[in-house]
Structure 1
Amino acid sequence: MQSITLVNWILFAGSALLVAGILSSLVAQRFGAPLLLVFLGIGMLIGEDGPGGVAFSDFSMTYLIGSFALAIILFDGGLRTRLSQFEGVLAPSAVLASAGVVFTALIVSVLAMPLLNLSFPEALLIGAMIAPTDAAAVFFLLRSGGLHLHRRVGATLEVESGTNDPVAVLLTIVLVEYLADAGGETGIFIIGTLIWHGVIGGLLGLAGGYLLVWLLNRVSLPAGLHPLLAVACAVSIFALAQVAHSSGFLAVYIAGLVVGNRRVRAFASITDFHDAATWLVQILMFVVLGLLVTPSNLLTVIAPGVIVALFLMIVARPIAVFLSLQPFRFSVNERLFVSWVGLRGAVSIFLAAIPTLAGLPNGDLYFNIAFIVVVISLIVQGWTLTPLARRLGLALPQTRPDVSRVEIDLPGQQEHEMVGYYIEEGAAVVLSPGASPRWARPVFVVRDDRILEPAMAGGLKPGDYAYFLAPPERVRELDRIFTVSADTGEHANFPLRSGVQLGVLSDLYGLDVEEELRDRTVAEHFDTEVDDEPAPGDKLSLGPAMLVVRTVKDGRVNEAELELATGSADEPPVEPDRFDRLLRKARTGLHKLEAKLFNRR
């Protein structure tokens, strides 16, 4: 009976932890903080130094759970990365994810050798374990708390964080194999191993991704099983690559990229399922990692751990970023922000468990240093990302709040699915009747308990329920025209043509525009800075003013307006006297602008 009671208590504790994890997502979005640290603390409380008193030192089980969790997280990262995001950021992201990781590891090793009394390969191993940014932490924090970044910066960070884990894992495993063999392997062997891991892992990822796309589109499954098939195949691709002594982490990320950029059946349900799956496996991984650490052992290395963490955040990561991005014309503010978004997470702690699993000396030292670095990084950097982005002028206003959407998968084909929306007062689709994109086909409208064909319904009205056929991969784009702006400040709006250069606006209205942006037109500015296609209501800051999309034609901004505001829900207020001054200047400048454009024709 005692064993049955114990099982029941375990079930209760596990389910309670699951409920707490689901509810914690609401708190995390409210405060923009990485609350997964709470679950790290829960694991420590359950552990041998906490009230739970559970002695857990199974590194093999930790590696198994960590591999499973990271396979799902990296697959999800690839699933959500559009290849269109790579345009203009592929080169800088690739350099950050490869050379940036190596630079960071080398710089950290310079400090770790004398500080921890380690040889160069051992110090480099510590650098390799804490060099990668954590994809899960970066994805979550960049998408929570209302933080929206300029497209180039945001896309660079997301692509880098999703692709640098495989590089760090490769470097860590190769160094562990080198140290386990007492330095018997040659440099040529190490380079060959890296190439093998990368090439074979990449090929297996491509093959596995296309096979999964074929399965999803060709095999008839009961409703709800498509997400489970995707998860099972992702873990299988990861495991197969690892069995082939290649990079399973790179393979599963590439597989996610393939699936995320192809038309597949039930794509919306797959991504929604992965929202929950990635959150839950992170909770599981953090609890296990917290259970594995022994707080009393941390006391002996707390001082050097803090020094390494601060050195990583203030010296190593910034130097690596500035060196890596130097050829790509990133501004100083952009490089400073990319330097600070070097969040470390469960990946680093997971990698730190590998030396112990391989039987290397100093295994506890690696694990404890990595643990301290991760905790400090998540606390210090995690809570300061949003304020720093706004201070550096890289944050965009929140113009796309969450919208209620109903999704209906259509069996037998994968090119479209049916989505339904409730039409609220102030939605972009009501304010701009021509805002609906051509690729979204209206099906019917529910109004006053009646089902109407689109032609009979006419324009959409508040209180309607509208249903559309849309490509699954573009459903999130459609969300934007059904959102309601949260701005509450006083505004003065002036219409603009999309071909106006930003430099002309700067000269006429006294706006602060960077020199490299002066020749860019309004339409080109939105093409460059906004993810996917621009939509009515999208905004970009231009000094104290805002550029706002009015209409879109063929995927490009057709008409825009210049908005001057005394204050809004997302932006700090402009001083009243400056607002009046800008308003007068805008009214007179509008005529000059039209005259200048007329003379150019």
Structure 2
Amino acid sequence: MDFANQIILVSAALITFSIFAGVLSSRIGAPLLLVFLAFGMLAGEDGPGGIVFHDFSVAYLVGSFALALILFDGGLRTSREALTRAFGPAVLLATVGVVLTAAITGLAAKFLFGLGWAEAMLLGAIVGSTDAAAVFFLLHLRGLRLKSRVAATLEVESGVNDPMAIFLTLALVTIIIHGQAIASWESALDFFWDFLWQMAGGIIFGLLGGAFVLRAVNRLELSAGLYPILAGALALLVFALTQSVGASGFLAVYLVGFTLGNNPHRATSEIARFSDGMAWLAQIGMFLMMGLLVTPSALLPVLLPALGVALVLIVVARPVAVVLCLLPYRFAPRETAFVSWVGLRGAVPIFLGTIPILSGVEGAHTMFSVVYVIVLASLILQGWTVSWAARLAEVELPPRAAPRRRVELDLPAGKGKSVVAYTVDPMSILALRHMTRLPLPAGTSVISVMRDGIVRTEGLNEGVMPGDVVMMLTTADAVATLDRLFGVRKSRAKAKDAGMIDFVLDASAGAASIADIYGLAFEPEERPLTLEEFMRSRLGKDVKEGARTRVGGVELIAMQVSDGSVHQVGLDLDPPPRETTLTTLRTRLVEMLRFLREQFLADNARS
């Protein structure tokens, strides 16, 4: 009885202190997952905590359970658009990329540690895949916004590359233990069919299981609090069944989450919030346990060569694999460099490192220590600098305005809409622009406006005031635009995101009517014009797509131009500030000096 209470006390204390330590560490930019890992080490036998934990079978069980929950949550957050946009490059990185990374890293391990070829390749396979927990955390929980194709590629790759790493690890463990070698077509085909079933079985079970979970959530009449538990339990059931037939349960559970997250159902908010909390708990628990599992003093003998392997992995193996895999998809060099850098290793390699130990591979404990050093190096070097790398590679987008108070209410399944309520912030675009009418994205309508405790249901398209509570019926696609309209206005980054256009307007609409809706300050002679005529009057007859013109504090953008005609006009309610006269003069001076230098060098070259 006392032992059980001590276990509960220690577990709760570790999780609580880890969260507090993570909050403090965020002020210095430390990766939160690194904090959890380090805290586990401090609580271990070499640290002040003195907890002795060497049960690798428990670690494998808990790691499988936690990773399944993390991948389920990752699938819930991956949009169908992101999967479509990044499917090709992500799948190539998750298969060929993992093999290339494992091979190059294994080659470095062979020469730095003097391992046999099979053992060296096993070490490479263990650290060959990026970590879903680390990548999802950096992309979603730290508020880092990246260019859409880059973010989608990293998300999907981290969600689907674990099966390849697991397959390689298990195959190489089998070769080492049983002395099998791929020396004939028969054995090679066996491995090929095994891998094919891992992937195909994971996809089949994932899609069928996702459809079953979605139907169960929509058909069963339950208490609201039971839907998240039902969805999580069924997702784990699909994971376990898929694993039991030799296919990839990790891929299957990711697809279950993806199916549930991209289809309307009756418990969208409840399942999303519950899954987010469970994913957090799974990450904290897994990283703490992996921290407890290692003995820091055992890392010292392998520290230097392990850091050498980590360096090869980070600056050679991952970049080579990324460059070769992304070459057919014409990524910009800066985008390729960033994807190469965000090859984060986390709990997955440590989790895979337990497999050789449980299988009785000779020297597996040393290999586990090497993997641990590689993970620490990756989290410190790459995790600590990912925001800086995004800015340097010019793939970071301006942060979206976040409303301080937004409430959502799901509607019954199949409606495809939800009810959202916003409190108008004094620093929101709506309040600062003093709009006479409330601009709304397509598919959104106002239900009521509450001001000073009085609910109004008439005149709802009129302007709002700070403190008003606006309740609307909207779609999931419109929430980002509403967040920006009702959120606190923040300074815009220098880079311009094409997705920051708030509304798309028909170019045949009259300028006067648009001005009345959005509060645009057209000149009196411009009000009788259509938007197309206005754009031509400002930008000339030969209007190019993407051309912008400012009207007061907003900008109009030529969105669709064909056969010399403007068909759609975009509206940006919060454009970046204009350059000052001093900035403009400085820019032109720099350009003039560059031109003169080029001319001078060209004259020297001719002489």
TM-score normalised by L of structure 2? 0.80
- State how far apart, in whole Å, the 1-side matches of 2:26 and 2:544 are: 35
CA distance in 2, matches of 1:170, 1:411: 41
User: Helix, strand or coil: the match of 1:183?
Assistant: coil
Q: Which residue of 1 aligns with 2:147?
A: 150
Q: Which residue of the partner structure matches residue 191 of structure 1? A: 192
The residue number in structure 1 matching 2:526 is none
Please tell me the residue identity of whatever aligns with 2:281: L
Deviation per CA, 1:398-455, whole angstroms, max 9, x where unpaired? 2323542112234576533322111112424454655422223322111110111153
Instruction: Quote the Cα distance in structure 2 between the aligned partners of 1:427 and 1:15.
Output: 40
* Distance in 2 between residues matched to 1:451 and 1:366, nearest whole Å: 66
| Cα contact 2:441–2:478 (8 A) shared by 1 | no
Q: Distance in 1 between matches of 2:130 and 2:468?
A: 44
Structure 2 residue 449 is the aligned partner of structure 1 residue 445:
yes
Q: Note if contact 1:422-1:465 (Cα within 8 Å) is conserved in structure 2.
A: yes
1:577 counterpart (563, 577, 582): 582
Q: CA deviation at 1:227?
A: 1.4
Matched ranges for 1:73-88 at <5 A: 73-88=70-85
Q: Which residue of 2 aligns with 1:481?
A: 485
Which residue identity lines up with residue 215 of structure 2 in the other structure? W
Deviation at 1:20, TM superposition (A): 3.3
Judge conservation of contact 2:112–2:308 (CA < 8 Å) in 1.
Answer: no
CA distance in 2, matches of 1:363, 1:548: 62
Q: 1:551 to 1:481 in 2, by over 3 A?
A: farther
2:41 corresponds to which residue?
A: 44
Match of 1:558 among 567, 570, 594: 570
User: Structure 2: which amino acid aligns with 1:578?
Assistant: T
**Counterpart residue identity of residue 583, structure 2:** R
Three-state SS of the structure 2 residue aligned to 1:466 is strand
The amino acid of 1:388's aligned partner reads A
Could you say which residue in structure 1 is the equivalent of 2:312? Answer: 311
Distance 1:578 1:159, change over 3 A: same
Aligned counterpart, 1:522: 546
1:98 pairs, out of 92, 95, 100, with 95
Deviations 1:190-241 (A, max 9, x none): 1111011111111011111000000111101102121111211121111111
1:420 corresponding residue in structure 2: 421
Deviations 1:25-73 (A, max 9, x none): 6446555432222222222223222233332211110011000110011
Which residue pairs with 2:59 in the alignment?
A: 62
Cα–Cα, structure 1 residues 520 and 217, in superposed 2: closer, same or farther, change >3 Å?
farther
Provide the secondary structure at the position in 1 that maps to 2:446.
strand
State the identity as a percent. Answer: 42
State the structure with more CA Rg: 2
Counterparts of residues 115-154 of structure 1 (less than 5 Å): 115-154=112-151
- Look up the SS of the partner of 1:337 in the other structure: helix
Question: Aligned partners of 1:46 and 1:20: how far apart in 2?
Answer: 11
Cα distance 1:475–1:272, how it changes in 2: closer, same or farther (>3 A)? farther
Instruction: Report deviation, 1:365.
Output: 2.2
- Give the structure 1 partner of residue 257 of structure 2: 256
Alpha-carbon separation, structure 1, partners of 2:586 and 2:574: 15
1:108 deviates by 0.9
Letter in 2 for 1:333: R
Work out the CA distance in 2 between the residues paired with 1:276 and 1:242.
25
Using the TM superposition, name which of 431-440 and 154-163 deviates more: 431-440
Partner of 2:69: 72
Q: Distance in 2 between matches of 1:392 and 1:298?
A: 34
Partner of 2:216: 215
2:522 is matched with none
Contact 1:266–1:472 (8 Å) recurs in 2: no
Q: CA deviation at 1:83?
A: 1.2
Give 1:552 deviation, angstroms. Answer: 9.8
**CA–CA distance in structure 1, aligned partners of residues 247 and 492 of structure 2:** 54
Alignment of 1:354-369 (within 5 A): 354-369=355-370
Q: Determine helix, strand or coil for the equivalent of 1:444.
A: strand
Q: Go from structure 1 to structure 2 and tell me whether the alpha carbon gap of 1:448 and 1:561 turns closer, same or farther (over 3 Å shift).
A: closer
Aligned partners of 1:550 and 1:561 also within 8 Å: no
Name the CA distance, whole Å, in 2 between partners of 1:23 and 1:457: 45
Q: Specify the code of the residue in structure 1 equivalent to 2:582.
A: D
Task: Indicate the SS of the match to 1:458.
Answer: coil
Aligned 8 A contact 2:130 2:161 in 1? yes
Partner letter of residue 174 of structure 1?
A
Q: Give the partner amino acid of 2:33.
A: L
Is this contact kept in 1: 2:438–2:462, CA < 8 A? no
- In 2, the alpha carbon distance for the partners of 1:442 and 1:221 equals 30
1:33/1:141 contact within 8 Å kept: no
Counterparts of 1:449-528 in structure 2, within 5 Å, are 449-455=453-459, 458-471=462-475, 475=479, 478-487=482-491, 521-522=545-546
Distance 1:111 1:190, change over 3 A: same
1:247 Cα offset (Å): 0.5
Change (3 A) 1:248 1:87: closer
**Cα deviation per residue 1:361-383 (whole Å; 9 max; x = unaligned)?**
12112211111011110011111
Summarize the Cα distance change of 1:125–1:551 in structure 2 as closer, same or farther, 3 Å threshold: same
C-alpha contact 2:71 2:253 (8 A) present in aligned 1: yes
Question: Residue 118 of structure 1: CA displacement?
Answer: 1.9
Matches within 5 A, 1:242-321: 242-321=243-322
Is the contact between residue 265 and residue 414 of structure 1 (CA under 8 Å) also seen in structure 2?
A: no
Structure 1 residue matching 2:224: 3-state secondary structure: coil
TM-aligned CA distance change 1:350 to 1:154, over 3 Å: same
Distance 1:564 1:481, change over 3 A: closer
Cα distance in 2 between the residues matched to 1:39 and 1:365: 23
2:50 to 38, 50, 53: 53
Partners of 2:355 and 2:458 lie apart in 1 by: 60
Contact kept, 8 Å, 1:263 with 1:473, in 2: the verdict is no
AA aligned to 1:222 is S
TM-score normalised by length of structure 1? 0.81
For the 8 Å contact 1:263–1:472, the answer to whether it is kept is no
Secondary structure of residue in 2 paired with 1:114: helix
Contact 2:199–2:251 (CA<8 Å) still a contact in 1?
A: yes
In the alignment, is the contact (CA less than 8 A) between 2:403 and 2:488 conserved in 1? no
Q: Which residue of 2 aligns with 1:598?
A: none
**CA distance in structure 2 between the partners assigned to 1:473 and 1:269 by the alignment:** 19
Distance 1:26 1:439, change over 3 A: farther
State the partner residue of 2:599. Answer: none
Secondary structure of the structure 1 residue equivalent to 2:282: helix
169-178 or 329-338, which moves further after superposition? 169-178
Q: In the alignment, is the contact (CA less than 8 A) between 1:100 and 1:320 conserved in 2?
A: yes
Contact residue 71 and residue 250 of structure 2 kept, 8 A: yes
Moved more, 124-133 or 455-464: 455-464
Moved more, 75-84 or 174-183: 174-183
The residue type equivalent to 1:469 in the other structure is: L
Distance change (3 Å), C-alpha of 1:434 and 1:236: same
Kindly tell me: are residues 199 and 437 of structure 1, through their superposed partners in 2, closer, same or farther at Cα, counting changes over 3 Å? Answer: same
3-state secondary structure, aligned to 1:462: coil
- Distance of aligned partners of 1:575 and 1:381 in 2 relative to their CA distance in 1, 3 Å threshold: farther
Aligned to 1:535: none
Return the letter of the residue paired with 2:122.
L
Deviations 1:310-363 (A, max 9, x none): 111111111111111111111211111111111100011101111111121121
The equivalent residue for 2:521 is none
- Distance across 1 between alignment mates of 2:484 and 2:354: 43
Q: CA RMSD in A?
A: 3.4
Contact 1:238 1:249 in 2 (8 A): yes
Q: Is 2:21–2:35's contact at 8 Å kept on the other side of the alignment?
A: no
Paired residues, what number?
531
CA distance in 2, matches of 1:19, 1:213: 34
CA contact (8 A) 2:322 2:339 kept: yes
